Amino acid sequence: MTKKDTIKIFIVEDDEWYSEFLIYHLTLNPDYEVKKFNTAKDFLGALAENPNIVTLDYSLPDMTGSDVLKRIKDYNNDIQVLVISGQEDVNTAVELLKQGAYDYIVKNDDARNRILSVVNNIRQNLELREEISQLKEEIGKKYDYNKSIIGTSTAINRAFSLIDKACNSKITVSITGETGTGKELVAKAIHYNSERKNRPFVAVNITAIPKDLIEAELFGHEKGAFTGAQNRRIGKFEEASKGTIFLDEIGEMDISLQAKLLRVLQEREITRIGSNQVIPIDVRVIVATHQNLQEEVKKGTFREDLYYRLLGLPIELPPLRDREGDILIISKHFIDEYIRENKGSKMSLSGAAQKRLLNYAFPGNIRELKAVIELACVMADNDVIEEDNIIFNNARNMTDLLSKEMSLREYNNSIVQTYLDKYDGNVLLVAKKLDIGKSTIYRMIQNNEVNI
């Protein structure tokens, strides 16, 4: 469960009016997923769905509330149970609390407010528990970047040296590199080896958030600040308090929001949308991009003042094709990881398979290599991965292409076909990528020189 997940609430109540009453008020919160059950038997049959919260009527027709509570706790002690009763009985309440009930509420005029308040408290506790669990998991990985970032090439060793400097300082870090080179992994390595390692690491992918929602996502909003803002929400900068915020693909940020981000970085304070309250922040900023931000500054799509504010310590991650013998080292790591996760037996790469890997440019870098190796492990018939098991995304290997003797016309056709395969027959996109007219491609299709 994370802050973006829904909270699953089961209502166990034989009074139809009261169950509808609870459903109405709880579902006013869009983050609550509510289901009702009229009998203990029906509810227990659905217990495997693992609700986060159960509101339990103490007086059910087929089983006592105490017995149902015991069954819930025996099944999953993490399910929080809120017992609701028509009678105020102190002894019963104390006994139920001893058995593990979160609270005991009497059906009176104040019940609605108490139930909503208790459910909200449970939700906050669940979110806090999840955050602590994730933090422990991340710290438990002991982000030793010499182990998590694998390789011995000169290029990656230069990156290691800069990562070490970043870990021992508070400077803003800007990570550049092609897609799939491991920018987020480096950001985590820096955070979990810094003095902020016991505080949150909050990652935000700018490209994954609609432009009109990024400001609210980063800086938060008050209830009613805009249509759909039904509750106050803290932003990612507040969430990362005392820790690190990682802004991935920063080059994609709309220029209108860049000015607001610049002010936040300069003043070290934020203001939620719909509020005048200024909130001081203490976060370390790490950004990443696959773009050349200097070129974006020249184009006018990225603010020069923000560029220099974010530059800090620049770390450039080399593409896999520039990392000498690292391809085989990383391949072995992914093979071992696959075997461990799938409880398989030892596997190795044949000489021909190794050569095939080394002759490929890996435009998708480490991310692509991992996918290729995992597929190869699946395709292998025994404990040796053969050349035919190495499949490059069903696209043509340009190294293989250039090794063939063909006319210039045939080479052109093959290149266009490769791009059509790669981009799912999107003629307009391929024309843009190859800087040729779309009519040229349509003519090639009409003449059966290429296919889509």
Output the pLDDT for position 2. 45
Nearest to 348 by CA among 403, 392, 385, 399: 385
| Residue 129: both structure tokens together | 């528990």
Per-residue pLDDT of 262-301, as tens digits, reads 999 999 999 999 888 899 999 999 999 999 999 999 999 9
3-state per-residue secondary structure call for the chain: CCCCCCEEEEEECCCHHHHHHHHHHHCCCCCEEEEEECCHHHHHHCHHHCCCEEEEECECCCCEHHHHHHHHHHHCCCCEEEEEECCCCHHHHHHHHHCCCCEEEECCCCHHHHHHHHHHHHHHHHHHHHHHHHHHHHHHCCCCHHHHCCCCCHHHHHHHHHHHHHHCCCCCEEEECCCCCCHHHHHHHHHHCCCCCCCCEEEEEHHHCCHHHHHHHHHCECCCCCCCCCCCECCHHHHCCCCEEEEECHHHCCHHHHHHHHHHHHHCEECCECCCCCEECCCEEEEEECCCHHHHHHHCCCCHHHHHHHHEEEEECCCHHHCCCHHHHHHHHHHHHHHHHHCCCCCEECHHHHHHHHCCCCCCHHHHHHHHHHHHHHHCCCCEECHHHCCCCCCCCHHHHHCCCCCHHHHHHHHHHHHHHHCCCCHHHHHHHHCCCHHHHHHHHHCCCCCC
Output the pLDDT for position 394. 42
C-alpha 388/C-alpha 349 separation (Å) is: 11
Output the pLDDT for position 433. 80
Per-residue pLDDT of 247-256, as tens digits, reads 999 999 999 9
Output the pLDDT for position 35. 93
C-alpha 9/C-alpha 79 separation (Å) is: 10
Per-residue pLDDT of 113-158, as tens digits, reads 999 999 988 888 888 777 766 665 555 455 566 566 888 899 999 9
79 vs 420 pLDDT, higher one: 79
Mean pLDDT of 440-451: 86
Output the pLDDT for position 404. 58
Report the mean per-residue pLDDT for the chain: 87
Output the pLDDT for position 395. 44
Least confident of 18-22, 39-43, 62-66, 228-232: 228-232
Residue 99 pLDDT more than 60? yes
- Report the share of the chain in percent with pLDDT over 70: 92
Per-residue pLDDT of 347-382, as tens digits, reads 999 999 999 999 888 888 998 999 999 989 999 989
What's the pTM value of the predicted model, to 2 decimals?
0.57
- Report the share of the chain in percent with pLDDT over 90: 51
Per-residue pLDDT of 383-418, as tens digits, reads 999 998 998 864 444 545 555 567 777 878 888 888
C-alpha 166/C-alpha 189 separation (Å) is: 10
Residue 227 pLDDT more than 50? yes
Output the pLDDT for position 139. 52
